[in-house]
Amino acid sequence: MRFQGAVIREQGVSFAIVVVQRRVLTDRRQSEETAGAFQRFFPGLPIVLMGQDTGGVPTYYGRHDIVRFMSRVPLSAVPWKEYTFA
């Protein structure tokens, strides 16, 4: 499995962001299941999902405080990485 994501440590809080298709974020149940599935890759960290519309504008799903924080962070400032797991 390969996916784009990042681990961020900010103001004493560590969390993981995972890039998903925007349609995942339109269904709360699917968002919760998807975030839960990624928990095994980032044990103990809150998972935030990020999808983009066709214009590149991000939408986040996850803990409200982290989503609020990420809404003010430029995507270019996120330390994106490609993760590969067997």
d(C-alpha 17, C-alpha 27), whole Å = 18
List, in order of start, the domains of the chain with CATH numbers.
2-84 (3.40.1350)
Whole-model pTM: value is 0.94
Please give the average per-residue pLDDT across 23-52, as a whole number: 96
Alpha-carbon distances, residue 66 vs 8, 50, 55 (angstroms): 10, 12, 23
Residue type, 69: F
Beta bridge partners of 10: 13
d(C-alpha 57, C-alpha 40), whole Å = 27
What are φ and ψ of residue 66, in 5° steps? Answer: -75, -40
Digit-coded pLDDT (tens) for 12-24 = 999 999 999 999 9
Q: Tell me the residue length of the chain.
A: 86
